[in-house]
Amino acid sequence: MRRAALLCALCTLVVLASIVGAAATTPSESNAWLKQDPPNDVDKWNLGVSFWYEDANSNGKWDRGEDRSLGGAGEGWTEVTSDGTCWMAAAANILGCAGWGDEKDIYEEMVAEYCGPGLPQWRGGDECDAVNWYLNRQKNPDGTWTDKKSCYTAVRSWTRADMQAEGYTSGAEFIADQLRQCQYVTLGIYDVTRSHGHAVTAWGDTASADWKTTDADPGWLWIADSDDDDAWSEHKYDKVRDLQPFKWTSAWELSYSGRENVWDACTLCPSDVPEPATWVLLACTGVVGLLKRRRK
């Protein structure tokens, strides 16, 4: 799997196929522009049915190493009927692709942190909170890095008002521009009434690789969605790809679940650039996205 840990000097380059403009029918992955070859998508453990986890140390939460089951419970196991961890899954996706570690391991660390005693079990939350929490875990008390695996350390939370304040007139324009600026991007999408929300990971679109903000907005967005795969095969995240295209039906609205609006986003960006002497080495490694609301 391609990583971006050493690619900050090459952020404007992309090596995957692209297509100019939007497709008239649902596009295939072969004619999509993608930021990079995405990894195995992190998937939530609860996909519409209950699951159980062992609480071997009786601390009231799931800890890494404790077992879990979709088909039944052992004595004293805890049932989870609603899994709102899409925000953790999306955060783990971009951290993993930015070179910070394995997506599955990062997600499990987040579950163990956020789904503990005194916290609503498996609750919704914000992707930037999860990304910042994980990055802070990689630091010493004095703020220095214990093991800086990636130059992607700058996190920004965007509301739609922030996007519009910087001149973006549509969700498609914002996402296309951010992905091509070397950012990794997660999105908060909500139904029209904003009664429920979800977090997804943006990977690409149906515009060209050299798309500029003056060009027509991409007609489709490619995302990875933690709701759609089976994460239970030997407890591995083993589906190679979970990419789906969704059509822009208006400036800020996707065809996801009928009509879902983009209301906020989280971007993970490079905060430093290697010295010029390292650029040739990097070129040999290959190249490779309003209010905070809880999403599930």
- For the chain, the average pLDDT equals 75
Query: Is 285's pLDDT higher than 60?
Result: no
pLDDT at position 117 is 58
**Lowest model confidence (mean pLDDT) among 25-39, 174-188, 209-223:** 25-39
**Lowest model confidence (mean pLDDT) among 145-154, 187-196, 225-234:** 225-234
pTM above 0.75, yes or no: yes
Query: Is 98's pLDDT higher than 50?
Result: yes
pLDDT at position 267 is 97
Is residue 21 a contact partner of residue 216, using CB atoms and an 8 Å limit? Answer: yes
Q: Whose structure tokens read 């209301």?
A: 263
More confident residue, 114 or 39: 114
Domains, the chain, ordered by start: 8-41+150-283 (3.90.70)
Segment 153-207, tens digit of pLDDT: 999 999 999 999 999 999 999 999 999 988 999 999 988 777 778 899 999 999 8
Segment 115-129, tens digit of pLDDT: 765 555 567 789 999
**Distances, alpha carbon 96 to alpha carbons 48, 89, 134, 184, 260, in Å:** 26, 10, 11, 10, 26
pLDDT at position 120 is 54
Separation CA 127–CA 199 (nearest Å): 8
Can you tell me the mean pLDDT for 276-295?
33
DSSP state of 81: -
pLDDT band at 274 (very low <50, low <70, confident <90, very high): very low
Separation CA 127–CA 124 (nearest Å): 10
Query: How would you write 93-125 as a 3-class SS string?
Result: HHHHHCCCCCHHHHHHHHHHHHCCCCCCCCCCE
